[in-house]
Amino acid sequence: MGTFHYPNGKKVTSVTKTRSSSSSSVKKEVSYSNRGMSLEDDINQSNQFYLLTNKAIIHKKPTPVQIVNVEYPKRSAAVIREAYFKLASTTDYNGVYKGRYIDFEAKETKNKTSFPLKNFHEHQITHMQQILDHGGISFIILRFSSTDESYLLDSSYLVHYWKEQSMGRKSIPKGEIEEKGYSITNGYQPRLNYLETVDRVYFYPSL
Protein backbone atom coordinates (compact mmCIF):
# COMPACT_ATOMS: atom_id res chain seq x y z
CA MET A 1 0.00 0.00 0.00
CA GLY A 2 1.35 3.38 -0.95
CA THR A 3 1.31 6.64 0.90
CA PHE A 4 -1.82 8.64 0.32
CA HIS A 5 -2.15 12.39 0.38
CA TYR A 6 -5.63 13.37 1.43
CA PRO A 7 -6.34 16.20 -1.01
CA ASN A 8 -8.17 18.38 1.48
CA GLY A 9 -6.81 17.17 4.79
CA LYS A 10 -10.36 16.29 5.77
CA LYS A 11 -9.57 12.90 7.22
CA VAL A 12 -7.61 14.37 10.10
CA THR A 13 -9.94 17.21 11.08
CA SER A 14 -10.78 15.59 14.39
CA VAL A 15 -7.21 15.06 15.50
CA THR A 16 -5.37 18.25 14.57
CA LYS A 17 -6.56 20.46 17.37
CA THR A 18 -3.23 20.82 19.12
CA ARG A 19 -0.93 21.53 16.23
CA SER A 20 2.46 22.78 17.27
CA SER A 21 2.81 26.46 16.57
CA SER A 22 6.55 26.15 16.09
CA SER A 23 6.21 24.17 12.90
CA SER A 24 7.20 26.15 9.84
CA SER A 25 5.58 23.94 7.24
CA VAL A 26 2.57 24.94 5.20
CA LYS A 27 -0.66 23.88 6.89
CA LYS A 28 -4.10 23.81 5.41
CA GLU A 29 -7.15 25.07 7.16
CA VAL A 30 -9.54 22.47 8.52
CA SER A 31 -12.85 22.57 6.68
CA TYR A 32 -15.91 20.63 7.68
CA SER A 33 -17.96 19.37 4.80
CA ASN A 34 -21.31 20.09 6.42
CA ARG A 35 -22.61 22.50 8.99
CA GLY A 36 -23.63 19.93 11.55
CA MET A 37 -21.83 16.76 12.40
CA SER A 38 -19.93 14.82 9.82
CA LEU A 39 -21.21 11.47 8.62
CA GLU A 40 -18.28 9.83 10.38
CA ASP A 41 -19.22 11.49 13.68
CA ASP A 42 -22.83 10.39 13.26
CA ILE A 43 -21.82 6.79 12.59
CA ASN A 44 -19.35 6.70 15.46
CA GLN A 45 -21.99 8.02 17.83
CA SER A 46 -24.51 5.50 16.51
CA ASN A 47 -22.04 2.62 16.90
CA GLN A 48 -21.38 3.75 20.45
CA PHE A 49 -25.12 3.73 21.11
CA TYR A 50 -25.49 0.27 19.58
CA LEU A 51 -22.60 -0.95 21.74
CA LEU A 52 -24.04 0.48 24.96
CA THR A 53 -27.50 -0.90 24.25
CA ASN A 54 -25.99 -4.25 23.31
CA LYS A 55 -27.55 -4.20 19.85
CA ALA A 56 -24.45 -4.72 17.72
CA ILE A 57 -20.65 -4.74 18.03
CA ILE A 58 -19.43 -2.51 15.24
CA HIS A 59 -16.24 -0.44 15.34
CA LYS A 60 -14.44 1.94 13.03
CA LYS A 61 -11.00 0.70 12.11
CA PRO A 62 -8.09 2.96 13.06
CA THR A 63 -6.75 5.19 10.28
CA PRO A 64 -3.91 3.26 8.62
CA VAL A 65 -0.61 5.00 9.18
CA GLN A 66 2.89 4.14 7.97
CA ILE A 67 5.18 4.83 10.91
CA VAL A 68 8.71 5.83 9.93
CA ASN A 69 10.33 7.34 13.00
CA VAL A 70 9.58 6.86 16.70
CA GLU A 71 11.29 8.47 19.66
CA TYR A 72 11.39 6.82 23.06
CA PRO A 73 11.99 9.59 25.59
CA LYS A 74 12.99 8.50 29.09
CA ARG A 75 10.07 8.06 31.48
CA SER A 76 7.38 9.17 29.02
CA ALA A 77 5.33 7.79 26.18
CA ALA A 78 6.83 6.91 22.80
CA VAL A 79 6.33 9.71 20.29
CA ILE A 80 5.81 9.07 16.59
CA ARG A 81 7.84 11.79 14.85
CA GLU A 82 7.37 10.82 11.21
CA ALA A 83 4.45 8.91 9.72
CA TYR A 84 2.27 9.00 6.63
CA PHE A 85 -1.33 8.26 5.84
CA LYS A 86 -1.83 5.04 3.92
CA LEU A 87 -4.60 4.05 1.58
CA ALA A 88 -6.91 1.63 3.41
CA SER A 89 -7.05 -1.88 1.99
CA THR A 90 -10.50 -2.52 3.44
CA THR A 91 -13.57 -0.55 4.46
CA ASP A 92 -13.75 1.61 7.57
CA TYR A 93 -16.38 -0.23 9.61
CA ASN A 94 -17.02 -3.83 10.49
CA GLY A 95 -18.40 -6.01 13.21
CA VAL A 96 -21.11 -8.46 14.15
CA TYR A 97 -24.90 -7.98 14.21
CA LYS A 98 -27.37 -10.73 14.99
CA GLY A 99 -24.65 -13.29 14.36
CA ARG A 100 -23.83 -11.92 10.90
CA TYR A 101 -20.64 -10.31 9.69
CA ILE A 102 -21.32 -6.65 8.83
CA ASP A 103 -18.94 -4.54 6.76
CA PHE A 104 -19.43 -1.07 5.32
CA GLU A 105 -17.95 2.17 4.11
CA ALA A 106 -19.55 5.61 4.56
CA LYS A 107 -19.09 8.62 2.31
CA GLU A 108 -20.71 11.99 1.84
CA THR A 109 -20.87 14.36 -1.12
CA LYS A 110 -21.89 17.96 -1.68
CA ASN A 111 -23.16 16.99 -5.13
CA LYS A 112 -26.92 17.16 -5.49
CA THR A 113 -27.71 14.86 -8.40
CA SER A 114 -25.18 12.02 -8.28
CA PHE A 115 -22.56 10.35 -6.08
CA PRO A 116 -19.00 10.50 -7.50
CA LEU A 117 -17.24 7.13 -7.61
CA LYS A 118 -13.91 8.81 -6.83
CA ASN A 119 -14.95 8.57 -3.18
CA PHE A 120 -13.96 4.90 -3.37
CA HIS A 121 -10.86 3.10 -4.53
CA GLU A 122 -10.12 -0.19 -6.20
CA HIS A 123 -8.94 -2.01 -3.03
CA GLN A 124 -12.21 -1.24 -1.30
CA ILE A 125 -14.32 -2.48 -4.20
CA THR A 126 -12.32 -5.72 -4.26
CA HIS A 127 -12.78 -6.08 -0.51
CA MET A 128 -16.55 -5.55 -0.77
CA GLN A 129 -16.86 -8.20 -3.48
CA GLN A 130 -14.87 -10.61 -1.29
CA ILE A 131 -17.16 -9.99 1.67
CA LEU A 132 -20.22 -10.65 -0.49
CA ASP A 133 -18.62 -13.85 -1.84
CA HIS A 134 -18.00 -15.12 1.70
CA GLY A 135 -21.51 -14.56 2.99
CA GLY A 136 -20.99 -11.28 4.82
CA ILE A 137 -23.30 -8.29 4.69
CA SER A 138 -21.57 -5.53 2.74
CA PHE A 139 -23.00 -2.11 1.96
CA ILE A 140 -22.17 1.56 1.66
CA ILE A 141 -23.78 4.49 3.43
CA LEU A 142 -24.05 7.49 1.10
CA ARG A 143 -24.97 10.95 2.33
CA PHE A 144 -26.00 13.92 0.22
CA SER A 145 -24.87 16.58 2.69
CA SER A 146 -26.69 19.52 1.09
CA THR A 147 -30.05 17.90 1.87
CA ASP A 148 -28.82 15.70 4.76
CA GLU A 149 -30.23 12.57 3.09
CA SER A 150 -28.51 9.23 3.79
CA TYR A 151 -28.96 5.96 1.94
CA LEU A 152 -27.87 2.37 2.41
CA LEU A 153 -26.86 0.72 -0.85
CA ASP A 154 -25.81 -2.92 -1.08
CA SER A 155 -22.21 -3.20 -2.27
CA SER A 156 -23.23 -5.33 -5.24
CA TYR A 157 -24.60 -2.15 -6.87
CA LEU A 158 -21.42 -0.23 -6.16
CA VAL A 159 -19.38 -3.04 -7.71
CA HIS A 160 -21.65 -2.82 -10.77
CA TYR A 161 -21.27 0.95 -11.18
CA TRP A 162 -17.54 0.70 -10.50
CA LYS A 163 -17.10 -1.71 -13.41
CA GLU A 164 -19.24 0.47 -15.66
CA GLN A 165 -16.86 3.40 -15.14
CA SER A 166 -14.84 2.14 -18.10
CA MET A 167 -17.86 3.05 -20.22
CA GLY A 168 -17.60 6.64 -19.09
CA ARG A 169 -19.96 7.20 -16.17
CA LYS A 170 -17.96 8.32 -13.12
CA SER A 171 -20.82 8.65 -10.66
CA ILE A 172 -24.03 6.97 -9.48
CA PRO A 173 -27.11 9.03 -10.37
CA LYS A 174 -29.14 9.96 -7.30
CA GLY A 175 -32.24 8.49 -8.89
CA GLU A 176 -30.61 5.07 -8.96
CA ILE A 177 -29.56 5.37 -5.32
CA GLU A 178 -33.16 6.24 -4.40
CA GLU A 179 -34.41 3.28 -6.41
CA LYS A 180 -31.91 0.59 -5.40
CA GLY A 181 -30.91 1.92 -1.99
CA TYR A 182 -32.87 2.47 1.22
CA SER A 183 -33.12 5.72 3.09
CA ILE A 184 -31.72 5.87 6.61
CA THR A 185 -33.55 7.76 9.34
CA ASN A 186 -31.80 10.60 11.16
CA GLY A 187 -32.51 10.85 14.85
CA TYR A 188 -31.10 11.72 18.22
CA GLN A 189 -30.19 8.34 19.69
CA PRO A 190 -28.76 6.92 17.51
CA ARG A 191 -28.13 9.86 15.22
CA LEU A 192 -28.16 7.62 12.17
CA ASN A 193 -30.26 4.52 12.75
CA TYR A 194 -28.70 2.47 9.98
CA LEU A 195 -29.33 -0.89 11.69
CA GLU A 196 -33.05 -0.30 11.32
CA THR A 197 -32.36 -0.10 7.58
CA VAL A 198 -30.10 -3.20 7.77
CA ASP A 199 -33.01 -5.06 9.38
CA ARG A 200 -35.32 -3.99 6.56
CA VAL A 201 -32.89 -4.97 3.81
CA TYR A 202 -31.10 -8.08 5.12
CA PHE A 203 -33.11 -9.58 7.97
CA TYR A 204 -36.81 -8.89 7.40
CA PRO A 205 -37.14 -7.92 3.73
CA SER A 206 -40.73 -9.16 3.56
CA LEU A 207 -42.01 -6.73 6.21
Least distance in Å: CB of 5 to its own copies?
A: 4
To the question of whether residue 122 is assigned a binding role by annotation, the answer is no
- Does 87 help bind its own copies (rule: CB under 8 A)? no
90 has binding-site annotation: yes
Q: Which residues contact 188 (CB under 8 A, 6 or more apart)?
A: none
Residue 41 annotated as lining a ligand binding site: no
Q: Which stretch binds its own copies (CB under 8 A): 38-46, 58-66, 182-190, 197-205?
A: 58-66
Alpha helices, DSSP H only, in the chain? 39-52, 122-133, 155-164, 174-180, 194-198
Residue 22, C-beta contacts closer than 8 angstroms, at least 6 positions apart: none
Amino acid occupying residue 178: E
- Cβ 139 to its own copies, closest distance in Å? 14
Closer CB to its own copies, 96 or 185, in the complex: 96
Rounded least distance, CB 195 to its own copies, Å: 12
The answer to whether 189 is annotated as binding is: no
Helix (H, G, I), strand (E, B) or coil at 199: helix
Residues of 98-119 as b/e, b for ≥16 C-beta within 10 angstroms? eeeebbbbbbbbeeeebbebeb
State which residue, 125 or 172, has the beta carbon closest to its own copies: 125
Residue closer to its own copies by CB (options 18, 206) is 18
The β-bridge partners of 70 are 80
52 near its own copies, rule: CB under 8 A: no
Residues 59-78 that bind its own copies (CB under 8 A): 59, 61-74, 76-78
Q: Is 130 in the site for its own copies (CB under 8 A)?
A: yes
Which residue type occupies 3? Answer: T
Half-sphere CA count of 53, side-chain side, radius 13 A? 11
89 touching its own copies, by CB under 8 A: yes
**Binding-site residue ranges for Mg(2+):** 90, 92, 105, 124
